[in-house]
Structure 1
């Protein structure tokens, strides 16, 4: 579970809802101080048990690069409702949601896409399907296959208990003890509980299953022809840093290792993470402009 450092929205960041042909999505939107976005927009997608709030610490900095930044809740996550249909939460289906969101946010222009953890598996599906042309793609703390280590154990617990024993049980037996051990403040603790209980149990179970069992689609992703960045914490306890670095090499993608970060670089090292994203996006746009002139 990503734990936001704070919940107060910075200046220029507002909650909103985005209407699409595939439903309405809860979002946080950040705009430059001038209110005018001169560069390409970006869409940020959270991981399992996460939400748009996991990006609060980077939204303002990213927007100051002259962009509209939108972080969303996936269907079945926190403030975006979803159906009681396990098939609706397959990566391909959620990836189709990302396609239409990118179309709305970009108004027909390419969008920079960032997927964190499970959100990386969803966004990977969107990039591979080729429905929407993305300006760039960043895999943040995401591996090519099923998650391993300590977080795999947590994923199995969600898969086994979310629908049978309920989210209150999961909160009390796993997430609350972890949050207490991390020493989070009372207001953050209250938010984490509210967020957990607002999720769809069906969605959490389906997402957890895919986190554990997803197939390697790196070769398909490589063929997408999109500038790519693999970014992860040096102490990632989800997918091993060595595995993520190897994935970057396979993709011939840029690779950034965030010092001191674990599985949530946008929370644990926001300035470093935001700077790496802006630098990558600027480079991708420059290369695109040059190719269009040829």
Structure 2
């Protein structure tokens, strides 16, 4: 598949603005494949500097397994509106309430998937109210703040945004070869112009606020472990943002299903989409089987 095609939604998918009680959010909504029995709905939250397009390669294989998939740009990300300079609206609690509003607008309980920063927002939403969710998957998203090396790189990005425009920072990122967690603009899916457009569409205040969150997030694993909700920790075999042994330990603390995708790093959804989709659907199928009453 071409890099251009990765930004294009699947043929049956709809790109639209989801109206919620907290505003409108840009989504790509992909249905269950024709002739396949529906098994559930999935809401997918992207990471820092990412967007809904990061999940493009998951839509079709998950649809073939019976799952409607809805990928969303969070407030101030790419095609979702948000203020340029007011960081308060991007506080984690506000972003978590946005997720709850998105689920309410979809009108059904969902399996929640959060990649990286999206995983920590997903956790916050579940801790507010777990009732709208069937399960939660934390994809390449760790128990607390990001690694020291990634904190330094996020700080470099924030410093650059203090003195340069988004367009100027884009050029610097291209020249430097960005770090993994700040790598969405340069190494994510899509051709350079589309990636540049995504970067320019993201609000600076969103990057400032969420970058600080990544560098200061407390360990809330014990809180999540107390929530009666099936949990899945999925990652690649290498991750510099949250080292894989840390993710292994988090899964043990959560009594969660643990999946490691061979050949993937921080973004299994784009590095190895087919095995990632298979692992996700297998987990959700198991959740459904546990919920289904036994036959007499």
TM above 0.5, yes or no, is yes
Tell me which residue corresponds to 1:23.
23
* Per-residue deviation, 1:11: 2.3
Tell me which residue corresponds to 1:238.
241
- When normalised by structure 1's length, the TM-score is 0.90
- When structure 1 is superposed on structure 2, of 154-163 and 264-273 the one drifting more is 154-163
- When structure 1 is superposed on structure 2, of 87-96 and 9-18 the one drifting more is 9-18
- Structure 1 unmatched ranges of 5 or more: none
Tell me which residue corresponds to 2:218.
215
> Structure 2: how far apart are the matches of 1:25 and 1:36?
28
- When normalised by structure 2's length, the TM-score is 0.90
What count of residue pairs does the alignment treat as equivalent? 287
- Superposition RMSD in Å: 2.5
Identify if the C-alpha distance between structure 1 residues 9 and 226 changes in structure 2 by more than 3 Å, giving closer, same or farther.
same
> Structure 2: how far apart are the matches of 1:123 and 1:187?
25
Identify if the C-alpha distance between structure 1 residues 152 and 23 changes in structure 2 by more than 3 Å, giving closer, same or farther.
same
Contact 1:142-1:239 at 8 Å conserved across structures: yes
Contact 1:14-1:30 at 8 Å conserved across structures: yes
Identify if the C-alpha distance between structure 1 residues 36 and 23 changes in structure 2 by more than 3 Å, giving closer, same or farther.
farther
Contact 1:29-1:70 at 8 Å conserved across structures: yes
* Per-residue deviation, 1:13: 2.1
> Structure 2: how far apart are the matches of 1:187 and 1:20?
29
Q: Does 1:152 align with 2:155?
A: no
Identify if the C-alpha distance between structure 1 residues 289 and 53 changes in structure 2 by more than 3 Å, giving closer, same or farther.
same
* Per-residue deviation, 1:162: 2.4
Contact 1:90-1:206 at 8 Å conserved across structures: yes
* Per-residue deviation, 1:36: 7.4
> Structure 2: how far apart are the matches of 1:4 and 1:145?
34
> Secondary structure at the residue paired with 1:261?
coil
Q: Does 1:79 align with 2:79?
A: yes
Tell me which residue corresponds to 1:61.
61
Identify if the C-alpha distance between structure 1 residues 50 and 33 changes in structure 2 by more than 3 Å, giving closer, same or farther.
same
* Per-residue deviation, 1:152: 2.6
Tell me which residue corresponds to 2:277.
274
Q: Does 1:248 align with 2:248?
A: no
Tell me which residue corresponds to 2:41.
41
Contact 2:130-2:227 at 8 Å conserved across structures: no
* Per-residue deviation, 1:151: 3.0
* Per-residue deviation, 1:192: 1.1
> Structure 2: how far apart are the matches of 1:268 and 1:125?
26
* Per-residue deviation, 1:123: 0.6
Map Cα deviations across residues 15-61 of structure 1 (whole Å, 9 max, x no partner).
12100000100011111232876221000000000000000111111
- Structure 2 unmatched ranges of 5 or more: none
> Structure 1: how far apart are the matches of 2:150 and 2:195?
18
Map Cα deviations across residues 125-172 of structure 1 (whole Å, 9 max, x no partner).
001111643100000000111111543333112332324423123211
> Secondary structure at the residue paired with 2:25?
strand
